[in-house]
Amino acid sequence: MKKIFALAAINFGVFGFSQAWTGAGDQKAQAGINAWGLGTGIAASYDYGLNSLISVGGGATVYFNEDEDNPFIFGRIGFHLQETLALPTELDIYPGANVGVAGRNFGLGVYIGARYFFTENWGAFVEAGNNGSFGVSYSF
């Protein structure tokens, strides 16, 4: 019985306080693989919460090809639906848009994303749209 109680306490401590979105002042960093869109590459982004619905941030994707659209450096805005959809605290769904420079060209993209946090700081993300990526998320 003591072992069951200890295991339950450990799981609660690890998984019990993970939150995908806390609103104003929330900070998330993501890194992963860009799997479709302008090409396959490495993607990274950062989001800062302005309020319970909106975040702004920036990011970059470096593609493995030698195309003129390499790299894509962008600003982004996201609309977090966790509270609106009454989602569990570990899950956030967010549509958004990217605007930036892709090599020597103007870059514009839209996406819908999801984050799921396994611990207080670490989770996974996936974003699909003009470009798509998946990887790990870190909450500050």
Q: pLDDT tens across 1-32, in order? A: 444 444 433 444 444 456 788 889 999 999 99
pLDDT mean across residues, the chain: 86
Highest mean pLDDT among 6-20, 35-49, 94-108, 110-124: 110-124
Evaluated on CA atoms 81, 87, 89, 95, the torsion sign reads: negative
Structure tokens at 53: 């619905």
Please list, in sequence order, all residues whose beta carbon lies within 8 angstroms of the beta carbon of residue 84, skipping any fewer than 6 positions away: 53
Whether 110 has a pLDDT exceeding 60, the answer reads yes
- Domain residue limits, the chain: 2-139
Which class does domain 2-139 fall in? Answer: mainly beta
pTM above 0.75, yes or no: yes
Q: Quick one: average pLDDT of 126-131?
A: 90
Distance CA 48, CA 57 (A): 6
| Cα gap 64→53, rounded to integer Å | 34
